Amino acid sequence: MWTGFVAKIDKTFRINDVLYEIHRDISVELPVKRLAQIAAFSEQHFHRVFHQVMGEPVHQYIRRIRLEQAGNQLMFDVSASVQEVALKCGFQSLSSFSRAFKQQFGVAPGRWRKGDREMQAGDYLLDPEIKAGYERIQHKTLPEPDIVQIPPQMVAYVRHQGYGRSITQVWRRLLAWAEQEQIDASRQLGLHHSNPAWVPLSQCRYVACIAIERPIARRGFVNTLTIPGGLHARFVLTGVYGELLPYLSQILESWLPASGFIMKTTPAWVDYHKNQFLTEDDGFELDFYLPIGYY
């Protein structure tokens, strides 16, 4: 039993290294041979292990995150052509991108950009707590952000698929690990890889992180990555569970198109001063960082 547990942890942290490489720059080619080398597996074994750990084949995973990012770019980078978005998100031709996009989202890229998109069955407003949060904040005025340059930040992290109260268990595991390793866990960050407005909550990817100054000595279910620095819009947000995703939706759909900026392809993230997944009153106080650039 113990041997099997250790083997599972070993596979997880090797695949985490691959995920870091994939998400670092989705516009570049990601040949399976190189990803297998990063994981230190043969290509054949890598395919099996990736599917086992992630629940889907590696090619399908890469295509899905590229399409999700393309959905964001089409909506929020109006200066770029559909072909430019396709290339930026790792597709080699407009025709292959258009076919894949329509298969994923049910509409052609051009129609999606015009707002003629079909919401997924997992639309976040189907969650009653998030729907109630949306109703509470929909008439509130967004706070004006600061435009700031952020240095890279090394973190210890645990990945999680699915956005909901199950994230609480991930945070508890991470904090228990930090206490055991005598690592300061006072600065807690969360990476948001997915836009829940059109990615079903069960497929949204979230990363629970604590800031560290040096790589961790022993890897297992907890690993190390560096959150990219650069230009960000920082929003100071407060509320209770269910309100954060509607706030993020407002930022992307209302503030960003009128801001004069474009959203970059690195993940958005939050710096918790009060973590909604760990408080008895479900409250949050946080800084939301949106990576941005100029047209």
Query: Tens digits of per-residue pLDDT, 174-212?
Result: 999 999 999 999 999 999 887 777 778 888 889 999 999
- Give the whole-angstrom CA distance, residue 20 versus residue 74: 24
What pLDDT digit, counting tens, does each position of 36-58 carry?
Answer: 999 999 999 999 999 998 889 99
Q: Determine the pLDDT at residue 249.
A: 85
Cβ-contact 275, 284 below 8 angstroms: yes
Q: What percent of the chain has pLDDT over 70?
A: 93
- Give the whole-angstrom CA distance, residue 88 versus residue 83: 9
> Cβ contacts of residue 186 below 8 Å, gap of 6+?
none
Q: Determine the pLDDT at residue 26.
A: 79
Cβ-contact 267, 192 below 8 angstroms: yes
pLDDT band at 8 (very low <50, low <70, confident <90, very high): low
* pLDDT higher than threshold 60 for residue 117: no
* pLDDT higher than threshold 50 for residue 122: no
Average pLDDT over residues 218-224: 81
Average pLDDT over residues 141-170: 93
* pLDDT higher than threshold 70 for residue 121: no
The class of domain 2-113 in CATH terms is: mainly alpha
Q: Half-sphere exposure of residue 274, counting CA atoms within 13 Å on the CB side?
A: 14
Average pLDDT over residues 274-283: 96
Domain with CATH 1.10.10.60 in the chain: 2-113
| 84-93, 119-128, 247-256: range with lowest mean pLDDT | 119-128
| 112-121, 162-171, 213-222: range with lowest mean pLDDT | 112-121
Q: Determine the pLDDT at residue 2.
A: 37
Beta partners for residue 238, in sequence order: 285
Domain with CATH 3.20.80.10 in the chain: 146-294
Q: State the pTM of this model.
A: 0.77
Classify domain 146-294 at the CATH topology level: Multidrug-efflux Transporter 1 Regulator Bmrr; Chain A (3.20.80)
Question: What mean pLDDT value characterizes the chain?
Answer: 87
Average pLDDT over residues 145-171: 93
- Give the whole-angstrom CA distance, residue 124 versus residue 134: 10
- Give the whole-angstrom CA distance, residue 220 versus residue 157: 10
